[in-house]
Amino acid sequence: MHDEPPVTTLDPGPKKVLGPGHDYGTVTDKISGVVYRPFERTPREMFIGFGIAFLLVNVLLVSVTWLFFRGVGIWGIMIPVAWGFAIVNFVWWIGIGHAGTFISAILLLLKQDWRTSINRFSESMTLFAVACAGMFPILHLGRPWLAYWLVPYPNTMWLWPQPRSPLIWDVFAVSTYGTVSLLFWFTGLIPDFATMRDKAPNSWAQKIFGMLALGWRGSAKHWARYQKAYLLLAGLSTPLVVSVHSVVSFDFSVSIVPGWHTTIFPPYFVAGAIYSGFAMVLTLAIPVRRWYHLEDLITMRHIECMAKVMLGTGLIVAYGYAMEAFMAWYSGNQVERYTFINRAWIGGYWWTYWILILCNILTPQLLWSKRVRLYLPAVFIISLIINIGMWLERFVIVVTSLTRDYVPSSWGMYYPTLWDWSTYAGTLGLFVSLMFLFIRGLPAISIFEMREVVHHLEHTHGD
Amino acid sequence: MSELSYWRSLEELSSSAEFRAFVEDEFPNRTPDWNDPRSRRRFLTLMGASVALAGASACTVQPKEVIVPYVRQPEEVVPGNPLFYATAMSKAGIATGLLVESHLGRPTKVEGNPEHPASLGATDAVMQASVLTLYDPDRSQTVTRNGAISDWGSFFTALTGARDIAGLKQGAGLRILTGAVTSPTLFSQLKEYLTACPLAKWHQYEPCGRHSVRAGAIMSFGRPINTIYRFDRADIIVSLDADFLCSGMPGGIRYAHDYSERRRAAAVDSNVRPPRLYVAEGTPSITGGMADHRFRMRTTEVEAFGFTLMHDPTSPVAKELNAHRGSSIVIAGEYQSPRVHAMAHSLNQELGNAGKTVLYTDSVEANSADELTSLSELISDMQSGKVETLLILGGNPVYDAPADSEFLDALKKVHFRVHVGTYSNETAAWCHWHVPEAHYLESWSDARAYDGTACVVQPLIAPLYDGKTPHDILNVLNNHADLSAHDTVRAYWQTQHNGKGFDDFWQTSLHDGVIPGTAFAEITPPAGKISDAPATSIAGLEIVFRPDPAVGDGAMSNNAWLQEMPKPQNKMTWDNAVWVSPKSAQSYGVSTGDMVEIELRGRKVEGPVWIMPGHADESITIHFGYGRTRAGNIADGVGFDAYAIRNSASPWVDGGVQVTRKSRGYVFATTQHTQTMEERDPFRVATFAEYHKDPQFARPEQDRVSDTHSMFPLWEYKQHKWGMSIDLAACIGCQACTMACQSENNIAVVGKEEVAKGRHMNWIRVDRYYHGSLDDPQMYFQPVPCMHCENALCELVCPVAATIHSGEGLNEMVYNRCVGTRYCSNNCPYKVRRFNFFLYSDWNTQSLYGMRNPDVTVRSRGVMEKCSYCVQRINRAKIDADKQDRPIADGEIVTACQQACPTQAIIFGDLNNPNSKVSKLKKQLRDYSLLEELDTRPRTTYLARLSNPNPELEKSE
């Protein structure tokens, strides 16, 4: 552990999920070593990255404070565009979170071997993304101190929230998602907390991890119950992948705004969520695996599989765009047609639509090529482009549809302000900071599941 | 914040260095340092400087206040129930009768007086906004001497001194400058003084006065005769640049009412002939918007048009006029040349309209004088040192006198100058004494309406800042200082009333708001003379000066409601602009937002360009009322000063103007950005002929949504079923409804920056759509309040049930439940909802507390608001009806917009009552809903506009 190996990669190539020469011990050491590495050995990139991210967290703090002090008018929202960056960011962040649940839950149930080394990482990403997302519905309220009125609680006013409103469905969907994700994540961590407790170099680590491990001894009974619980939680999480973003899409499809009022949104949003989520996992995983030399645990097979999922969901999203365009024409409805033409040609934000097509439809087609899929810099850049594209997609949907709807006298342009950008950048900083803290403090890869992979490979004479 | 230099207390004031400099400098505020540009909205929310500096020189400790209930309650005063008092507001001296709502001794809302001939219950936007001026914290609150605080006693001493000195010389050297005066009492006081001191002189000046009207009448009849019109009797109306609908001229509200009555009658009954309106104008006006045919021409070419009309009987318009002798009107614009007025008189007489549709009376002004001549006499006398004492009773000549007259230079030569005004304005800065004037809502006075009807102006509140009326000043001059204005007015009318029962007469006049039998008798003027010389016009680019559609001549510039009122033609707020036609803009290389320098006769002013569809080519229009330097915190630094280049030789239109572009990128704040209907049909129009052939043109079969297409049963509204009908054939686009709603519902002002962002707060807006070519489009106005949809889309999506549906059909907004997700606004296809993005309501300025309607919540930050069908009025009527155990009569509940509307375009009522006006209106086949295809089932529906074009002209257009 003292000398860094030379630049040759540890990666075993796109056909293997684990580098050669690993046994239960080395896998455990490697992963826990990331946490227990001496502070001076922390990679420089982490300091720089965390520094920038933390700076942005402070920007977020200032932005939110100013927002609460003055009011939601510091943003660029107006009439008719009463929802701007806040809702775009909310949907974007929630969407990103879906990859984690997809990887953890659905890929588990589908018994995909390549989920193992990325599932912990992406679940954490989900949690942090939901945390970032969950701020926005509160921040964007005119009177955020009364946000609790959206929650059904018995009160002296005898008032309950209005259940026909998609925003209430959001409250349930997102809080359920956050809760279940947190439970699933924590449950998955329990054996690893125990491992960390057992390998703790000092009594503080031992005590903290010990408390978190909830008394895990690793006995057969524990494991038997554990597997059942884990599967149950996976089963609970699976429908959430589809339901949460569908419900978020209802915010738009239930309303009457042309450009929002379309039935394709639920599947389109869910596919888009997984799309952007995988892109974010790649954006984070590629640098981290390099900095911490985890290439033998997160191999090119993982990268390639994720790229393939991105391509697949990207095609679904492309279908969604095509359907929107087609239905705009096929419906014969003047307002629907105009909305599309406004979005793509004559509106003030027409250029965002074409950048969107470039980012979300054209760029990922490069992933058809195996060479591109295995070329890390390309995959990294494509994942960034897709994230930008998905943000633009929500922008196009939310903002351009609102700029011009039914009555022409009310049409108006939306111009984001400095505070819109600073709040967004702030949440990016919060997300990255939390990810860095997670990597620093918790096992970023599931130790016990990697041991299972070692076991599985040994006993099936794996490739 | 350090730039703000308002006074907090007398102590602070007296100790600051600024104040000392103020005192020592004889002419303080030459460059006032509270002229700094600052965010107005920020000012509104941050300022708290309303410690009254009312006159008190000694008492600086607030006396202990004890609240004591009435021991003997004044008659009729029930806390919580408003009382209404009749009074009148004057514009350039000419009055419109009003009923003002008073809550516990505070006037809160202005309404029209149904008994008054100039109002018939309606008001215009300016009258609605006038209540804000009463409570304006920037009003002058104290007598000042050389800028320092003084008191009435000291002024009294000084004035009597000056009076006595002048009295020794039979008044020589003492001059009085007023605006146009119709007040019989004031005139009698002036007469008394001028009789006692015959060498004193009385001058009159109105910056936007009826100079042309008077000169035209003299040209035709030899003396200033007043002309009034009966638009309800007219089949054909030819307007020579006359904006007779609404505020454009005295009687405008009445004219709008009569004109629309005729149109509405024709819509209902095909036997009634609809009127046909021809308008010849250069600058788009709301009358031009209603025209069946609008002849776009340069303002100076209107004279030639009139000439052709007189001499060419084959022109289609002349033919029409001839075919309707005795039932036509030719009306000349207030700001056209006198010759055009003479032409109109001549035409009317020749067509036999005189005595039928065009009536003549004696001049309404007590002493009709050519104000430009009067002012120039004063100025030349001041220059030659003949004026020792000048009393300026109201007005602002330093700001609005024509630039070439050099009023200020002459003023400086006057030894003793007094300014009486509601604001310590540009003129007050150059006067020795400034006395705060009582607002009309604080005054005893009297005035005459456009037809001569006299009414008493009675105050609704004692002067907030000890303001004085001109009557008080004249009483000092006449040695009647012990008499109050009330006594003076009453005494005058006592002399006019022969016989017994004066008390009854007086009480009835005060109660009704009209003094019976005072309308001027019709006179038959001599045959009008007019020279046959050909018409003149200005070659090249002309510049047209007009009072601003919102702030007028500038007296009410500091009224934030008027500043934020979207001007009807272009929905612009907080600015004036240089209006140019699209073609001329192209040829001069300018576009909207360019700053241009306008040079006229050696004087320059810089202003931003606005391309105005429908404007005449080779012509620019600029508006007065802006570019103020001492108006108050609202108006200072806003816009540019059009008076700065105005010339007394051609005060309304001039030539030889140069336009040079200086820079680009001026940002306007407008409330509407899309000017046309973009191939949709929110506004539906057809000709009367088409309507009678196909009455259902506005709602074709295929667009209807049937009642049975929803699987849910329809809700039964058993008790009341409130609804509203807006007649687009009547709406002229004057924005009186917008101002009335603002006043009634405590709607906040947001400032220019916020309006530019799209955050204006008006609950009822008037959309203006252009139709046709952008060079000469039709201009259509459509008021849009909340539709109160039965299938409300906003109610569906509110997460906290802050907007709900009442059992009577109202969509109710519950402010205290709203958390501000703004989903309701997104889901409203009509976009009638307004959001408080910041704390827009001014919670700090104490003087505004009294103005607010106590029946309506003042909304705070983060809350959505919208039109409520004036639910407070509905509830009041229900309570009253319940107490009296009777049903609510139709017409008992009148929404604020309905009440203000001069044309009665908005009608509200109970749809469950088949005989209510609104039910009958909705049964008209031209009734349609906006966006019916969305199945929102709006309770507010529209009656399609009907036009009456001339078939002969249609072919050629």
pLDDT by residue (tens digit) across B288-307?
A: 999 999 999 999 999 999 99
Q: Give the nearest chain A residue to B750 (CA atoms).
A: A73
Six-digit token pair at A408? 């022409």
Report the amino acid identity of residue A50: F
Residue B3: pLDDT band (50, 70, 90) is very low
- C-beta separation of A366 from A417 below 8 A: no
Q: Scan residues 177-236 of A and list those with Cβ closer than 8 Å to B.
A: none
The token pair at A205 is: 């680590």
- Candidates B437, B436, B374; CA nearest to B407 is B374
Nearest CA among B584, B604, B579, B607 for reference residue B595: B607
Percent of chain A with pLDDT over 70: 97
Q: At B323, which amino acid appears?
A: A
**Residues in chain A closer than 8 A to B822 (CB atoms):** 77, 82-83, 140, 142
User: What is the rounded CA–CA span in Å between residue B203 and residue B376?
Assistant: 9
- Asked if residues A389 and A359 have their Cβ atoms less than 8 Å apart, the reply is yes
**Nearest residue, CB atoms, A162 vs list B767, B799, B861:** B799
Q: Which residues of A touch B798 (CB under 8 A)?
A: 162, 165
**Are residues A143 and B819, on separate chains, in Cβ contact within 8 Å?**
yes
CA B241 to CA B229: how far, in whole Å? 16
Could you check whether the bond before residue B82 is cis, i.e. omega within 30 degrees of 0? no
CB pair distance less than 8 Å for A408 and B823:
no
Q: What residues does B456 pair with on adjacent strands?
A: B446
Task: State the average pLDDT over residues B524-531.
Answer: 79
Residue to mutate among B760, B800, B861, B931, with most A CBs inside 10 A, is B800
Q: Residue type for A139, please? A: L
**Distance (Å, rounded) from C-alpha B893 to C-alpha A226?**
71
Whether residue B801 and residue A161 make contact (CB cut-off 8 A), yes or no, is: yes
Subunit contact A408:B676, Cβ cutoff 8 A: yes
Distances (CA, A) of B622 to B147, B511, B547, B641, B644: 33, 42, 8, 9, 11
Q: What is the per-residue pLDDT across B4-31, written as a single tens digit (0 to 9) for each?
A: 334 344 444 344 454 454 444 444 343 3
SS3 B560: helix
Q: Is the dihedral of CA B579, B584, B588, B591 positive or negative?
A: positive
Q: Is the distance from CB of B127 to CB of B110 less than 8 angstroms?
A: yes
Question: What is the arrangement of strands in the sheet containing B927-928, beginning at the earlier edge strand?
Answer: B906-910, B722-727, B940-943, B927-928
pLDDT computed for residue B955 by the predictor = 61
Question: Considering just the CA atoms, what is the radius of gyration of chain A in Å?
Answer: 23
- Residue B826 has its nearest CB partner, among A144, A402, A404, at A402
- Cross-chain residue pair A408–B863, CB shorter than 8 Å: no
Q: HSE, CB side, 13 Å, CA atoms: give it for residue A24.
A: 6
Which pLDDT value is given to residue A104?
87
Distance CA A405, CA B657 (A): 43
Band (pLDDT 50/70/90 cuts) for residue B57 is: very low
- The rounded distance, in Å, linking the Cα atoms of A426 and A409 is 36
Given the candidates 3.90.420.10, 3.30.70.20, 1.20.1630.10, 1.10.1490.10, the CATH classification of the domain at A24-143+162-461 is: 1.20.1630.10
8-state DSSP, B830: T
Burial state string for A109-146 with b = 16 or more CB within 10 A and e = fewer than 16: eeeebbbbbbbbbbbbbbbbbbbbbbbbbbbbbbbbeb
Predicted confidence at residue B58, as pLDDT, reads 43
Q: What is the DSSP string of B412-447?
A: TT-SEEEEEESS--TTGGGSSEEEEBPPGGG--EEE
Is the ipTM reported for this complex over the cut 0.90?
yes
Taking contacts as CB-CB distances below 8 angstroms, the residues of chain B near A153 are: none
- Helix, coil or strand: residue B359: strand
Average pLDDT along chain A: 91
Instruction: Tell which residue, B939, B609, B669, has the closest CA to residue B806.
Output: B939
- Contact call for A78 and B672, based on CB within 8 A: no
Which one of A162, A255, A409 has the shortest CB-CB distance to B800?
A162
**Does B383 have pLDDT greater than 50?**
yes
Give the residue on B whose Cα is nearest the Cα of A401.
B826
B926, B698 contact by CB (below 8 A): yes
Residue type for position B138: D
Residue A107's pLDDT band (cuts 50, 70, 90)? confident
Q: Return the amino acid letter for A366.
A: L
List, in order, residues 6 or more apart from B307 with CB less than 8 Å away.
Answer: B343, B534, B535
- Average pLDDT on B404-419 reads 95
- In this prediction, residue A29 carries a pLDDT of 87
Q: Give a three-class secondary structure readout of B865-919.
A: ECCCCCHHHHHHHHHHHHHCCCCCCCCCCCCHHHHHCCCCCEEEEECCCCCCHHH
Give me the pLDDT at residue B63, please. 66
Nearest-Cα residue of chain B relative to residue A166:
B797
pLDDT given at position A8? 57
Residues A71 and A196: their CA atoms lie apart, in Å, by 46
CA distance A313 to chain B (A): 30
Cβ of A82 within 8 Å of Cβ of B834? The answer is no
The dihedral over CA atoms of A433, A437, A443, A449, expressed in degrees to the nearest 10, equals: -30
* Residues of B whose CB is below 8 A from A70: 838
Distance CA A277, CA B407 (A): 74
| Neighboring chain A residues of B800 at a CB cutoff of 8 Å | 149-150, 159, 161-162
Closest CA to B211 of B384, B120, B341: B341
Per-residue model confidence as pLDDT tens digits over A255-304 = 999 999 999 999 999 999 999 999 999 999 999 888 888 888 888 999 99
Q: Based on the number of CB atoms within 10 Å of its own CB, is B152 exposed (0-12), middle (13-18) or buried (19 or more)?
A: middle
Nearest CA in chain A to B42: A70
Query: How far is it, in rounded angstroms, from Cα A261 to Cα A336?
Result: 9
Residue B78 neighbours by CB under 8 Å, 6+ apart: none
Interface mutation vs chain B, best among A79, A254, A338, A405, most B CBs within 10 Å: A79
Distance between CA atoms of residues B690 and B686, nearest Å: 6
What is the distance between the alpha carbons of residues A140 and A84, in angstroms, rounded to a whole number? 9
Burial call B884-900: b when 16+ CB within 10 Å, e when fewer:
eeeebebebbbbbbbbb
Beta B276-281 vs B236-240: how paired, if at all? parallel
Chain B residues whose beta carbon lies within 8 Å of the beta carbon of residue A147: 819
Are the beta carbons of B837 and A256 separated by less than 8 Å? no
Query: What average pLDDT does this structure show over B44-71?
Result: 50
pLDDT band at A3 (very low <50, low <70, confident <90, very high): low
Residue B829 and residue A407: Cβ atoms within 8 Å?
yes
- How far, CA to CA in Å, does B58 sit from each of A74, B49, B61, B156? 45, 20, 9, 18
- Record: contact A77-B837, CB cut-off 8 A: yes
CB contact under 8 A, A76 and B673: no
- Please answer yes or no on whether A254 and B797 come within 8 Å at the CB atom: yes
Which residue from B minimizes the CA distance to A250? B797
Residues of chain B with C-beta less than 8 angstroms from the C-beta of A411: 673-674
With b meaning 16 or more CB within 10 Å and e meaning fewer, what string describes A27-60?
A: bbebbbbbbeeeeeeeeeeeeebbeebbebbebb
Are B829 and A406 in contact (CB < 8 Å)? yes
Angle formed by the axes of helices B316-323 and B302-311, to 10°?
60
Supply the mean pLDDT for chain B: 90
Contacts of A242 (CB under 8 A, 6+ apart): A270
Q: Give the closest residue to A200 by CA, choosing from A443, A454, A448, A453.
A: A443
pLDDT digits (tens, 9 = 90+) for B855-904: 999 999 999 999 999 999 999 999 999 999 999 999 999 999 999 999 99
Question: Who contacts B77 (Cβ-Cβ below 8 Å, separation ≥6)?
Answer: B70, B83, B104
Q: Do A142 and B863 touch (CB under 8 A)?
A: yes
Question: Using one digit for the tens of pLDDT, what is the confidence trace for A53-86?
Answer: 999 999 999 999 999 999 999 999 999 999 999 9
DSSP letter, residue B3? T
In three-state secondary structure terms, B573 is: strand
Ramachandran bin of B931, using left for φ above 0, alpha for ψ from -120 to 50, beta for the remaining angles: left
A351-389, pLDDT tens digit by residue? 999 999 999 999 999 999 999 999 999 999 999 999 999
Q: Helices marked H in A140-264 — which ranges?
A: 166-198, 203-213, 220-253
Report for A4-8, A214-218, B106-110, B248-252: range of highest mean pLDDT: B106-110
User: Running DSSP on this structure, what letter comes out for residue B934?
Assistant: G
CA atoms within 13 A on the CB side of B665: 1
How far, in Å, CA of B644 to CA of B646, rounded? 6
Query: In sequence order, what are the residues at sequence separation of 6 or more whose Cβ sits closer than 8 angstroms to the Cβ of residue B231?
Result: B237, B244, B255, B258, B259, B262, B275, B329, B357
Give the integer Cα–Cα distance in Å for B799 and B814. 13
- So where are chain A's domains? 24-143+162-461
Enumerate the residues of chain B whose CB falls inside 8 A of the CB of residue A412. Answer: 673, 758
Closest C-alpha to B634, from B101, B13, B126, B44: B44
Tell me which chain B residues have a C-beta less than 8 angstroms from the C-beta of A410. 672, 830-831
pLDDT for res B31: 36
Residues B105-136: tens digit of each pLDDT: 899 999 999 999 999 999 999 999 999 999 99
Instruction: HSE, CB side, 13 Å, CA atoms: give it for residue B639.
Output: 31
Rounded to two decimals, the pTM is 0.91
Determine the residue among B667, B753, B795, B822 to mutate to test chain A binding: the one whose Cβ has the most chain A Cβ atoms within 10 Å: B822
Task: Select from B462, B515, B503 the least CA-distant residue to B185.
Answer: B515
